[in-house]
Amino acid sequence: MNRLESMEQVTRRSLDWLACFVVAALVTLSLIYIRSTDIVGPNFEIGTKWLWQAVWAALGTALLLSARSIDYRLLGPALFALYAVCVGLLLYVYFCGPVINGARRWLLLCGVISVQPAGPARFVTLLTFCYWISPKCPFELPKLLHRAIAYAILFTPAFLIAIEPAGGNALTLVLAGFVIELVHRAPTSVVRRILIYAGLGFALAQVELSWVRGRHIDPEIVREAYDWWFYGHQTNRVTWFLSEAGCWNGKQSVLSIMSGGLTGKGLGQGFLQALGYLPRGVSSSDFIFAVVGEESGFVGCAVVLCLYGTLITLGYAIAARARDPFGRLAATGITTIFALHTLVNLLMVVRMCPIIGLPLPFLSKGGTFLAMSMLGMGVLASVHRQSVKAELANAGEREAAPSPPEGVHQAVLTCGPFLRVFVEFTQSGLDECAEVLEARAAAHAAGLLFPLGPPDDPPPSGQRKTRRRRRRPPTSRQAAPQREFPNFPVPVGEAD
Amino acid sequence: METERSEDRWELNKPITADAVMGAGERNPRRVLRMLTLTYLIALGAVAAWLVRYQVVGSPEMMDSYNRQIVRRIHLPPQRGSILDCNEVPIRTNAATFKFVLYLDALVDPRHGRQKCLNQIGQAIVEFAKLFDTPTYRRLLRPESDIRATLLANGPLGLVLNEDFDPSDQMMAIWAVHRGDFPHIRLERRLRRMSTYPNCLVHTAGDIRLEEPIPSPAGALSGHARDTYHLYQKEMRGISGLELACDSVLRGTPGVEEVVVTANGLQRASVISRTDPVPGGHQYTTLDTRLQAISERGFFEDGGRGAFVITTCVDGAIRAIGSAPCPPLRTPDMDWKAIEADPDHPLLNRAKQSLYSPGSTIKPLLAQAFLASGKVAFDDLILCTGKQSIGRRLRGCKRAHGHVNMGDAIRLSCNTYFHRVGMQVGGDDLREWLENAYGCNDSEEAPELALPATTIMSRTGETWRPIENWLLCIGQGATEVSVPVLANAAAALVTGVVCRPHLLRPDPHALSPVSPPPNHAICRLPTTPETRRQVLQGMIDVVHGNPATGRRAKVAGLLIAAKTGTAEKEVDGGSRRINNTLMIALVPARAPVYAIACIVEDGRSGGATVAPRLKKVIEGMLEAGLILSDEEAGEGNES
């Protein structure tokens, strides 16, 4: 195997670390921009509320690393209990929660910390849904009943979230479930058609939108047409979206982005959000991208777009390489949640879709959502970690290489400086590096590629699998279980 | 029963088949995921394209909308220039006054409704006003309409609570102690137009008004929509007199300050740019405020209606000009209705706007015309028998003067002499002479004066009828001139040059003269020094002779050349007649410097009504040192 192939393999096995690096970059940017929006006093001093975001980021980092260390498959049975708790919290919030800004969405802990149960409820619901429809589900039921329960699992929290009201969150949950179903069940041709029609429909809608806005349609007509579909404020949002002038926030977000130009006005120099044009209540959350556009210009926006593109690509790549359907579906669901949030928020900020109020993952202010997102990233990393383990297990005999070839060592280091940081931070990281180096050396010696292999064989009963912490002397390769597998070499991730 | 799970469940110990991995039929999760990734990246690309379109390429409409939203252009009023007299003493200038300005941004809470904001602002004003005494308290309280207009304007200019007041020491002490309690109130300076001589030159200097360049709907009636982008502060604008005529010089150039305002438009966040206003230039005039004060006091201190003008004989520069009665300087609480209803019409500037028949003051000019024609000599005698039949009436002099020459005729103001000689000389020649003497052929006029056109009596037929000649020679009928023209014609008697009366002069401190000094001469009369001397002697005899019509103007120690006049005028639709009494004078007669013309309406006669007033003025001039007595001048010549 040449150096490029080795680098490619190492990179593929470090997808989760790459994703964590992207998340770290986004969280860092969020602290910078949220600090810019934390304006207090008549003299525009910087406040200290952005520090809370840093606290939640630290908490989220701990959740991420913890979740990564745990085998996601062990979540399975616990998900039902978590699901029940989340549904209970949603019911409690709806009936007993405090009314803030006309909505019941938050729980007040100790009267100070506000937590939104909808955030963790969505992730738990998705994981439960994925677990239920995956082969790992322990319940054997008739097909129709099984599907009915699956949809009940999905739609019950969605309904409870929608009536809070938090229509955007409910919509993303339902859409994520739909995408999971597509990945799990739908033929490729159907999915292709759906995506093409959706894209064409969106493009056509944009063309019609410009026509509608130019016609100055009476807002009352629009309001009458949509009033019975939505709540009052949602109808207003649709009305403003279809009008030329738009609502105040939408107009200000567009002006903010436009005024940034190529390189922006500079960090902390954004006029529109500092002077109150872009309301401070939303500039740090739903319209944080407008702040990025104003302060960092097109350069900053491009960086953020690249980070999100990388994150979603990595998420779906992790899903594609998952070792089992539950892992694949869970990774798909989590990544889809991120993708929907990102897309809707960006389109909303540039007035390509109505204001739905979905924050940007990792960038917008919001402790609960940040923590849950990082927890989701931890689950994603766990999925990838297990798939890497399975891959390594299929590598056969693992011989400890006296020293890895220089090129591989360089490739590992080149994969990202973050590796060094996280490696120093966790012992598991160190182990993994050692494993990667060992496997690579063994593969190099054996001259083999690593096809996708079956999950780890369960240890014999009574024996507890122990983690190898030291390099063992090379042993003879254990006989691989018989498998019917194509004889042609199948590179990992490309078995189509 | 075949269940869903058994179809695609991965059992741990069962061999893994490609179907188990890839799925039955055409399902391919990896491909689906790849398509989802591609779709997402395409959507991001659409967002990126939008960003390129509006961030990189740019949109002028959006940028304009952005600027108009956050930027305000505040036009800064310039400091108005001063009007100065010939000695650079200010006639109209600026003095600093103060005003309290309430800035609303600290009082307006966006969560509250408008009425609540209005109540809060009103309460804040009351709290502030309570610090001061009762008169100040009342002045500081503003009506709700003003507060509402300022609030609705959504501008950073603030609400003026009280302006144009000179703060007393006590007030300043109160402000110094309590200013910290009212951070939203500031004491700001404002310039106010002041008159150095409050009762002088009201008509001539004129008045100003504070106004915004763009009228707001709350004030003027133009109905223009208020532009929130351009904010104007009141600046001075001339509305009459020299303030109006010289407004382009005095006004200056307004400055502009571009500021960024907060979302409610009330608070300034930063200043983008500032162009300081350019103060207006000073307007230099030919007036002499000392002479003006002496003249106003002397001519109309005892009342009466009329006007006076004092010019220099050399170039027609007006040194003093006045009209009586005159209104007081404009104040906010003036009773304009009473002033307009005054039967004496104080708003009328008689010195500039009125035309009067010159009466017998025309005779020195006619005398020069007679001498210039060559048809009569100075010593030629004409018999004045008193009355004669001219037209349908007996006209002539009040009494028979006997044989009179030109000098006697001037001294005695003999109408018979001038009528007969006038008939000899011919009316057309006299008319032409008078047109030149009264500057009728002046194609340019001083814009600051804008005098009405002089009219000269003319014949109706082929030849002059006796009555027409009579009216022409006694300066009545259709012959009407303005007072400045009368004074300049008097000056032409000694200089032989008719000049254009003017009030303005170039800036003496200009770094480089742009053009040569203006020449105010209109035309030269074909007189000789001898004829001028002869006529001047006749005018000296008017004051110093015996008998003489102007003897009441005699001032000890000073030779004065003058001519009285009385012109009848029909008023009230012809129901009654009044005498407009006039007098022209040249002082000092030995070497005339000033030409004086004065008219008093509804008097007895020029000698009885105007001459005593002239005497007061000349005595004041002597006292002020504006002219030297003959003795002092003689000593000066000797030294």
Q: H/E/C letters for each residue in B268-335?
A: EEEEEEEECCECCCCEEECCCHHHHHHHHHHHHCCCCCEEEEEEECCCCEEEEEEEECCCCCCCCCCC
Considering only A39-53, A156-170, B562-576, which range has the smallest mean pLDDT? Answer: A39-53
Size of interface A-B (CB pairs under 8 A): 176
What per-residue confidence (pLDDT) applies to B164?
A: 63
Pairing verdict, β B235-238 and B382-384: unpaired
Contact predicate A222/A247, CB 8 Å: no
Rounded CA gap, B605 and B567, in Å? 9
Identify residue B327 by its one-letter amino acid code: P
A13 is written with which tokens? 């096995």
Distance from C-alpha of B182 to C-alpha of B139, rounded to nearest angstrom: 18
pLDDT tens digits for range A201-253:
888 888 887 777 777 666 677 667 666 666 666 666 777 777 766 678 888 88
- Find the DSSP H helices in B439-566: 466-473, 483-495, 529-544
CB atoms within 10 A of CB B208: 23
Reported as a pLDDT band with limits 50, 70 and 90, residue A458 is very low
At B207, the pLDDT band (50, 70, 90 cuts) reads confident
Q: Which of B1, B3, B4 to mutate to test the interface with A (most CBs of A within 10 A)?
A: B4
Q: Does B22 touch chain A (CB under 8 A)?
A: yes
Please give the backbone phi and psi of residue B218, each rounded to the nearest 5 degrees, phi first. -70, -25
Condensed to tens digits (0 to 9), the pLDDT of residues B415-426 reads 999 999 998 898
What's residue A439's pLDDT?
Answer: 64
Mutation target vs B (from A140, A180, A183; most B CBs, 10 A cutoff): A183
Measure the CA–CA gap between B16 and B6, rounded to whole angstroms: 14
Residue A427: both structure tokens together? 């012992």
> Do B192 and B95 meet the contact criterion of CB atoms below 8 Å apart?
yes
**What percentage of chain B has pLDDT greater than the value 70?**
90
- Using the structure block, give the residue that is written with the tokens 């026509």: A211
- A298 in reach of chain B (CB within 8 A): yes
Spatial distance between the Cα atoms of A202 and B457, rounded to a whole number of angstroms:
92
Give the largest Cα separation in chain A, rounded: 79
* Lowest pLDDT segment from A7-11, B237-241, B587-591: A7-11
- Please confirm whether the linkage preceding B547 is cis (ω < 30° from 0): yes
How far apart are alpha carbons A190 and A181 in whole angstroms? 12
Q: Does the pLDDT at position B81 exceed 80?
A: yes
Among chain A residues, CA nearest to B105: A42
More confident residue, B346 or A165: B346
Under 8 Å between Cβ of B452 and B482 = yes
What pLDDT sits at residue B513?
62
What is the least distance, in Å, from the CA of B182 to any CA of chain A?
15
Contact check, Cβ <8 Å, B10/A262: no
Query: CA B600 to CA B586: how far, in whole Å?
Result: 18
The CA distances from residue A252 to A67, A276, A291, A350, B362, in Å, are: 39, 10, 10, 10, 79
Distance CA A324, CA A92 (A): 35
User: Residues B259, B71: contact at Cβ < 8 Å?
Assistant: yes
Of A234-248, A331-345, B596-610, least confident by mean pLDDT is A234-248
Token pair 């890497």 is found at A388
Q: Which DSSP string do the residues of B171-186 spell out, in sequence order?
A: HHHHHHHHGGG-TTEE
Of A437, A454, A446, nearest to A476 by C-alpha is A446
- Model confidence at A142: pLDDT above 60: yes
Nearest-CA distance B118 → chain A (Å): 21
- Helix, strand, coil share of chain A (percent; to 5): 65, 0, 30
Return residues 320-339 of A near B (CB < 8 Å).
Answer: 320, 324-325, 328, 332, 336, 339
B59 and A140 in contact by Cβ < 8 A?
no
Residues of chain B contacting A347 with CB distance shorter than 8 Å: 43, 47
pLDDT of residue B335: 81
φ, ψ of residue B131 to 5 degrees: the values are -70, -25
* Residue B100 binned pLDDT confidence (cut-offs 50, 70, 90): confident
Question: B154 — contact with chain A (CB < 8 Å)?
Answer: no
- The pLDDT assigned to A24 comes to 92
- Min Cα separation B248/chain A (Å): 39
- Check CB contact of A261 with chain B, cutoff 8 Å: yes
Indicate if the pLDDT at residue A481 is higher than 50: no
Give the separation between CA B616 and CA B620, rounded to whole angstroms: 6
Q: Residue B583: which H helix or E strand, with range?
A: strand B576-587
- Taking alpha carbons only, the member of B327, B336, B335, B311 closest to residue B201 is B327
Q: How far apart are CA B208 and CA B239, in angstroms?
A: 5
Provide long-range contacts, Cβ within 8 A and 24+ apart, for A196-203.
A198/B39, A199/B39, A199/B42, A202/B43
CB neighbours of B155 closer than 8 A, spacing ≥ 6? B72, B228, B231, B261, B265, B266
**What is the pLDDT at residue A440?**
61
Q: Contacts for A430-437 with beta carbons within 8 Å, 24 or more apart? A: A431/A467, A431/A468, A431/A469, A432/A385, A432/A388, A434/A471, A435/A392, A435/A398, A436/A10, A436/A13, A436/A392, A436/A412, A437/A401, A437/A404, A437/A408, A437/A409, A437/A412
Quick one: pLDDT band at residue A414, thresholds 50, 70, 90? Answer: very low
Structure tokens at A227: 């009033």
Most confident of A165-174, A431-440, B280-289: B280-289
Of B6, B16, B26, Cβ closest to residue A187: B26
Closest-CA residue of chain A to B17: A484
**Which pLDDT does position A332 carry in this prediction?**
93
Domain ranges of chain A: 10-391
Q: Do A254 and B70 touch (CB under 8 A)?
A: no
Q: Using CB atoms within 10 Å of the CB of residue B244, give its burial: 0 to 12 exposed, 13 to 18 middle, 19+ buried.
A: middle
Q: Write the CB contacts of B524 (distance below 8 Å, at least 6 apart in sequence).
A: B496, B497, B498
Q: State the average pLDDT for chain B.
A: 84
Q: What is the pLDDT of residue A455?
A: 40
Main-chain phi, psi angles of B445, to 5 degrees: -135, 155
Cα separation, B550 vs B543, in Å, equals 5
Tokens 């409704």 belong to residue: B113
B68 touches chain A (CB under 8 A): no
Would you give the DSSP letter of residue A457? Answer: P
pLDDT of residue A451: 40
Residue B536 has pLDDT above 90, yes or no: yes
CB contact at 8 A, B560 and B589: yes
Here the tokens at position B624 are 């002020």
Report helix, strand or coil for B108: coil
The residue written with tokens 């109209």 in the block is B92
Rounded to whole angstroms, the Cα distance separating A328 from A311 reads: 16
Q: Provide the pLDDT confidence category of residue A433 given band limits of 50, 70 and 90.
A: low
Q: Which residues does B403 contact at the CB level (< 8 Å), separation at least 6?
A: B381, B382, B383, B384
Express each pLDDT in B42-59 by its tens digit. Answer: 999 999 999 998 888 888
Q: Are strands B71-76 and B230-232 parallel, antiparallel or unpaired?
A: parallel
For residue B556, with 0-12 CB atoms within 10 Å meaning exposed, 13-18 middle and 19 or more buried, which class applies? exposed
Distance (Å, rounded) from C-alpha A440 to C-alpha A447? 10
**How distant is the Cα of B178 from the closest Cα of chain A, in angstroms?**
21
